[in-house]
Amino acid sequence: MNTKSGAVLVLSGPSGAGKSSLINKIIDDIGDCYFSISTTTRPMRQGEKEGVHYHFVTHEEFVKDIEEDHFLEYATVHGNYYGTSLKPVRDALHDGKLVLFDIDVQGNDAVKNRLGDITTSVFITTPSLSELQRRLQSRSTDSQEVIEKRIKMSRKEVQRISEYDYLVINDNLDEAAEVLRLIAKAARMKIPSTDINQFVQEWEDI
């Protein structure tokens, strides 16, 4: 059986739920993986770096990439474009890596449609809406207007939790990270349907 097949782990959830902190906490413990760096038209936040947190581009550059079919998926979130470039993902999967995506509910939908049989999805959120509000306010990287947009969006996003395989409540960072580590390890074991057919055939022939 082809043991070099990669797998996909989609992480979604409201901004401020702690996705980035959780990813940083588990990334060294989950084996060979590739964190997909999205492209966005949103302005860079304080502390963010080009090519580390996102590829920051202009609206025109993003539209050109859409026209040239460079994206696995893209969506408009909080009024800005966000997209996942296809090529690095394809390469990482080919190398047998676990590909991690931090994308929204629309992105999860698109990835599921294209890579469903190797995709595991997790929705990460705070224990409550008021806790999310508190975290966004204390983060102080966004204006009040942006915070309000994010809160509004998060109320819509939680309505779609049932589209995910797992729900992780990030109340305690260490505990949530431990759960996510287990999910990531299991995600890697997902077998593409083509490999299952091959495995059954070989198993019967031996």
CB of 69 to ligand 5GP, least distance (A): 15
**Within a 13 Å sphere around the CA of 46, how many CA atoms are in the beta-carbon half?**
5
Q: Are 25 and 117 in contact (CB under 8 A)?
A: no
CB of 108 to ligand 5GP, least distance (A): 8
Q: Are 94 and 166 in contact (CB under 8 A)?
A: no
**Within a 13 Å sphere around the CA of 175, how many CA atoms are in the beta-carbon half?**
6
CB of 178 to ligand 5GP, least distance (A): 22
Helix, strand counts (H, E) of the chain: 8, 9
Binding site for ligand 5GP (CB under 6 A): 12, 15, 38, 42, 73, 75, 77, 82-84, 102-104, 106-107
Which of 6/14 has CB closer to ligand 5GP? 14
CB of 33 to ligand 5GP, least distance (A): 17
Which of 3/46 has CB closer to ligand 5GP? 46
| Location of structure tokens 């890697």 | 188
Which of 98/125 has CB closer to ligand 5GP? 125
Which of 7/35 has CB closer to ligand 5GP? 35
Q: Are 118 and 7 in contact (CB under 8 A)?
A: yes
Residue with smallest beta-carbon separation from ligand 5GP: 107
